[in-house]
Chain A
């Protein structure tokens, strides 16, 4: 089955800096890669996703890149703000099976 690894497990940045979180996956058939943000005590919320036929997608301060050959994808947050502080999960989806990374706790210091 699919195996998703996520790094780093914790990330601390200064407000205004960029943050990058990386994930690798094992199943080359995976074709959909969402990113979720989970604030303390709340449900995971989809923040951006990318399909396997696209290499990069941007939405304001958030971008995701996908390298299918290397089987890795990354989340980029620019101009970080304290409200970006949360746990971020990547996931890889194949054939009705969604597998999540272990999560990255991002702290943005004001």
Chain B
């Protein structure tokens, strides 16, 4: 089975621009979660999508948004980029079971640099 894939792997943007990141989950997985990883804040949960619906959301401003398509692929969008948005953005996929039997698998991440 192919693992979780993310595109692009690297991205450089300037302040005020917007960016869209893509994540393709493992085949059969219906849940996609997004995380922001920075040296100072560690791994922080952004949001989780399941069956095209946002099921959970972390404490990030409205500039961060996402969506999920019928094939479970997910995109996240960050508008009006700020310098502090520079980070590694990781997505993780899982079956999406609402039980303790679910396991998340991470993609390689997209490294976003905001200049």
Residues of A within 8 A of B (CB): 31-32, 34, 36, 42-46, 49, 51-53, 89, 93, 95-103
Interchain nearest-CB distance for B81 vs A (Å): 23
Shortest CB distance B31–A (Å): 7
- CB pair B48 A96 closer than 8 Å: yes
Bitwise interface map of B from 41 to 61 toward A, beta carbon under 8 Å scored 1, else 0: 011110010100001100000
Contact A44 B90 (CB under 8 A): yes
Binding site for A on B (CB under 8 A): 31, 33, 35, 42-45, 48, 50, 55-56, 90, 92, 98, 100-109
Q: How far is the CB of A30 from chain B (nearest CB, A)?
A: 9
The interface residues of chain A, by DSSP majority, are classed as: strand
**A52→B48 CA distance, assembly (Å):** 22
Q: Which of B42, B56, B98, B109 is close to A103, meaning CB atoms less than 8 Å apart?
A: B42
How far is it, in angstroms, between the C-alpha of A32 and the C-alpha of B42 when the chains are bound?
A: 20
Shortest distance from the beta carbon of A61 to any chain B beta carbon, whole Å? 21
Contacts A96-B50, A96-B55 given; does A89 touch B43 at CB 8 Å: yes
How many A-B residue pairs have C-beta atoms within 8 angstroms? Tell me. Answer: 53
A32 and chain B: residue at smallest CB distance: B100
Residue from the set A89, A96, A101 with the largest chain B CB neighbour count within 10 Å: A96
CA distance A102 to B39 in the complex (A): 9
**Nearest 5 interchain pairs by C-beta:** A100-B43, A31-B100, A32-B100, A43-B106, A102-B42
